[in-house]
Amino acid sequence: MSFRRFLYLVANDGCAVHRGYSLHRIDTSRFFFRWSTEGIRAPLDSSGGAGAAADPSAVEDGGRLPDPVINLCPPHLGPHRDGWISFVLFKNEGNDEGHDKVVAMDNTGSSLMCGPDVPPTVRYMPSLCYKFAPFSLTVGDSLYVMDALPKPPNCRGQHNFELPSPRIDSYAVVAGASIAVSNNASAQTFLFDTANRTWSKAGGWVLPFARLAEYLPQHRLWFGVSPIEDGYRFCATNLVAWPDSGEMTRPPVVHGLWREPPPKWRPAECYAVHLGSSRFCIVRFFVIVGDPVHGCPDPGCCPRIQVEEELQAVVTGVEVESCGDELRVVKHKSERYKLELDHEYQVL
C-alpha cells in the first residue's frame, strides 16, 4: 500500500490588511523510524509509555516551517476588505505513485487544484459554490466538498445536494460509499448515500470524533481525535456494523484514548492525519505561555499576568498495531515548529 508522502499546512495571515495564504508541505518520512521496532509501544488506553508527557525542550526542534510551495491572495472586495480562500484535500485512494492534491476555492467560487510538485502543478477547476467552512471526503474517485456551517440562501449549483441545516461537527465515510455527519448540539447523526444522492437519519447520537474519522480496514475501526475531556485525544471506534438502511439505536463505543499532553503547554487544536496503512501524524497546536510577570516593582500589589509568548505545532508520527485483543500505539518521532501567533493555520 502507498503511504502519503506529504503533510500540508495552510497559513493565513488573517490580521493583515491584505491577507495572504501560503501552502507548506512537510515530508512525513521524517516522523518515522525505519523499523517499527524502534518506536515506543503503549496501549491505546494509556497515559504512560508512548503516551507519557514529554519535556517540551526534549522534542526535536524543527525550526520554522518549510518555505511555501505556493502563495495565494484572495479577491479584493473593496477598501480594506479582502475575500477568503478555503482549502480541502483530494486524497489519492489508488495504489500507484500518485499523490494527494490540494483544492483551493475563494469566496467568488473560483477554484484550482495544486499538485505536490515543486514548482507546484496548478490546474483551474470549474467554479464552485463558496462554502464558509468547507471540508472534504474522498469516496472512490469522487471528491465531496461539504460545508460545516449552514449554507447561505440562494446558493445552489448543478451538483449541490441538500444538507441537514445544523452545523457539522464530525464526519466519516462508512459502509464503503456513504457519508456520516453529526451535529453535537442536536445529538443527531445523518447519512448521505453517495449512490442515490439521498439523506437519512442514522440515529439520535453523534460520532465520537472532532472533524474527520478515518477507517483502517486491517483493524476494522475508525480513528480520529476525540472531543471529550480536553478534546485532544487520539481514539478509535467501531462503525463496521453500520446498517445498510434504517436507524442505529445505540451510539458507537470508543475503544481507546491515547494521551500525550505536554506539561505547561496550553493546547489550541489537534488533528489526526492518516498517512496510509496504520500510520498517522498527530498534529497538535500549543500556545507557549511565558513566566508570570508583575505589573509593578512590588509583587504584592499587583496580580500576576501570564504573557503568551509564541505558538508552536508538535507533529508526532504514530503507528497502530494489534496485540491480541488490545490496540497499541507505536510512537515514532516528534518535531516542533515555531509559528506566527497572529496567523491562522489549517492542517490537510
Q: What is the pLDDT of residues 282-331, one digit of tens each?
A: 999 988 776 666 556 565 666 656 565 788 999 999 999 888 778 888 88
Domain assignment present for 97: yes
Segment 325-340, tens digit of pLDDT: 788 888 899 999 999 9
108 in a structural domain: yes
| Residue 302, in any domain of the structure | yes
Which residue matches cell numbers 439505536? 249
Q: What per-residue confidence (pLDDT) applies to 49? A: 43
CA dihedral of 217, 218, 221, 226, whole degrees rounded to 10:
-110
Query: Residues 258-285: what's their mean pLDDT?
Result: 83
Max mean pLDDT among 108-112, 120-124, 274-278, 291-295 falls in 274-278
Question: Does residue 1 lie in a domain region?
Answer: no
Contacts of residues 30-34 at CB distance under 8 Å and 24 or more positions apart, as own/partner, are: 30/333, 30/335, 31/281, 31/315, 31/316, 31/317, 31/332, 31/333, 31/334, 31/335, 32/279, 32/317, 32/319, 32/332, 32/333, 33/332, 33/333
In a domain? residue 31? yes
| 201 pLDDT above the threshold of 60 | yes
Q: Are 306 and 290 in contact (CB under 8 A)?
A: yes
Looking at residue 246, its pLDDT comes to: 54
pLDDT digits over 51-92, tens only?
444 555 567 887 889 999 999 988 877 666 677 899 999 987
What is the total count of domains within the chain?
Answer: 1
Confidence of residue 93 (pLDDT cuts 50, 70, 90): low
Above 90 in pLDDT, residue 3? no
170-181 per-position pLDDT tens digit: 999 998 889 999
123 domain-assigned: yes
What's the pTM?
Answer: 0.84
Cis ω before 119 (30° cut-off from 0): yes
Residue 176 CA from chain centroid, whole number: 21
Give the pLDDT score at 78: 65
Confidence of residue 48 (pLDDT cuts 50, 70, 90): very low
Highest mean pLDDT among 25-29, 127-131, 232-236: 25-29
**Alpha carbons 273 and 281: distance in angstroms, whole number:** 5
Name the average pLDDT for the chain: 80
Do 44 and 216 touch, CB atoms closer than 8 A? no
Structural domain boundaries enclosing 284: 6-347
State the CATH number of the domain containing residue 324.
2.130.10
